[in-house]
Amino acid sequence: MDTLGIPADLLPELVRSGTVIGSVGRAAAAATAIPAGTPVIAGMTDGCAAQVGAGALRPGCWNSVLGTTLVVKGVTHELIHDPLGVVYSHRAPNGGWLPGGASSTGAGLISRDFAGRDLDELGRAASSHEPAAMLAYPLVSAGERFPFVAPAAQGFEIGGDGSEADRFAAILQGVGYLERLCYDYLHLLGASTDGDLFLTGGAARSDYWCQLRADILGRPVAIPENSESALGMAVLAASPGRDPADVAAEMVRIRVTIDPRAGSAGRFDAAYLRLVDELEGRGWLGAPLAAYARERTRR
């Protein structure tokens, strides 16, 4: 501020999200119809509010938001230090940290190449291709941001049986493999990933894709009824004087919890490692993460 010549008193004091910073005055009440005296709470970014709305606020819990792209955010006691700068952290309202990252893979490829199609019907056809003959790296646009940084990365599709169902299955599975690689990287950095895992975003409406992701990740996944940022802000507003994690546990409803299917353990390991090999071989994925992904898979 001193270097830029900006007087510090022009900006509000920096406080943690959820802090009571004032109340609605009479003039504001007259202008907005919000009752005078209503507390004003320090807010947070929409992404962090969605994390709160999903109920993922206890250390070790994570929220995978799958829409056009994939965003992963979790909760840790300590700040995660990433030498590559791939993982960034926000401060959690209860004093911990919200580390995460945003990939360039996601459902955007489906929106582009299967626009207007019955996705449930495509999913049913894809279910007979597990794993798919094709290997897909479904980048929405050029360049990758998480779990590795590779500005030159390009999406690819290798092999396949020529059928639409196999290609659709490969795209769904490819996103799942990247999601798995994200959690391998977070674990490599020292983050606890053994808490509850929540799936949100538009793709969470697909029961088949959620099941597939649970199988690929090898762990149960919880699908909240409502994970909108507005719900997260409501949780935050109800939290002064309480742990937001406790408030979220009361306010957030889980629609369904999906366990990996019987017999799915290891089913997708070979295809996952094949993608790891391809990404490393093209010079995009660093050797330390590639080696760690192989080691965790062998375990």
Q: What residue ranges do the domains of the chain occupy?
A: 46-227+244-298
Q: Long-range contact list for 200-203, CB < 8 A, 24+ apart?
A: 200/50, 200/54, 200/63, 200/64, 200/65, 200/66, 200/224, 200/227, 201/64, 201/65, 201/66, 201/67, 201/71, 201/107, 202/66, 202/67, 202/107, 203/66, 203/67, 203/106, 203/107, 203/175
Using an 8 Å Cβ cutoff, are 61 and 74 in contact? yes
Q: How many residues does the chain have?
A: 299
pLDDT mean across residues, the chain: 94
Stretch 145-167: mean pLDDT: 96
pLDDT over threshold 90, residue 271: yes
Stretch 95-107: mean pLDDT: 94
How sure is the predictor about 94, in pLDDT bands with cuts at 50, 70 and 90?
confident
**Tokens 């919200």 found at:** 98
Using an 8 Å Cβ cutoff, are 272 and 219 in contact? no
Stretch 159-178: mean pLDDT: 97
Stretch 130-153: mean pLDDT: 96
Quick: pLDDT tens for 33-87: 999 999 999 999 888 998 999 999 999 999 999 999 999 999 999 999 999 999 9
The whole-number pLDDT of residue 299 equals 86
**Tokens 């719900």 found at:** 231
Three-state secondary structure call for residue 151: coil
Stretch 227-234: mean pLDDT: 90
Whether this model's pTM surpasses 0.85: yes
pLDDT over threshold 90, residue 99: yes
pLDDT over threshold 90, residue 269: yes
Rg (CA), the chain: 21
Considering only CA atoms, which of 142, 210, 212, 112 is closest in space to residue 170? Answer: 212
The whole-number pLDDT of residue 13 equals 86
The whole-number pLDDT of residue 228 equals 85
Secondary structure letter of residue 10 according to DSSP? G
The answer to which of 6-15, 95-104, 276-285 has the lowest mean pLDDT is 6-15
- The beta strands (E) that lie in the chain are given as 20-23, 39-41, 62-66, 70-74, 88-91, 97-102, 134-137, 156-159, 197-200, 221-224, 254-258
How sure is the predictor about 11, in pLDDT bands with cuts at 50, 70 and 90?
confident
161, two tokens = 């049986």
The whole-number pLDDT of residue 130 equals 96
Domain 46-227+244-298 has CATH 3.40.50.2300: no
Looking at the DSSP assignment, which residues form a beta bridge with residue 111? none
DSSP annotation string for 38-89: -EEE----HHHHHHHHHT--STT-EEEEESSSEEEEE-BSSPPP-TTS--EE
Specify the DSSP element, H or E, that contains 33. none
The whole-number pLDDT of residue 285 equals 97
Three-state secondary structure call for residue 169: helix
pLDDT over threshold 90, residue 8: no
Q: What does the alpha-carbon distance between residue 112 and residue 66 come to, in Å, rounded to a whole number?
A: 15
pLDDT over threshold 90, residue 30: yes
The whole-number pLDDT of residue 12 equals 84
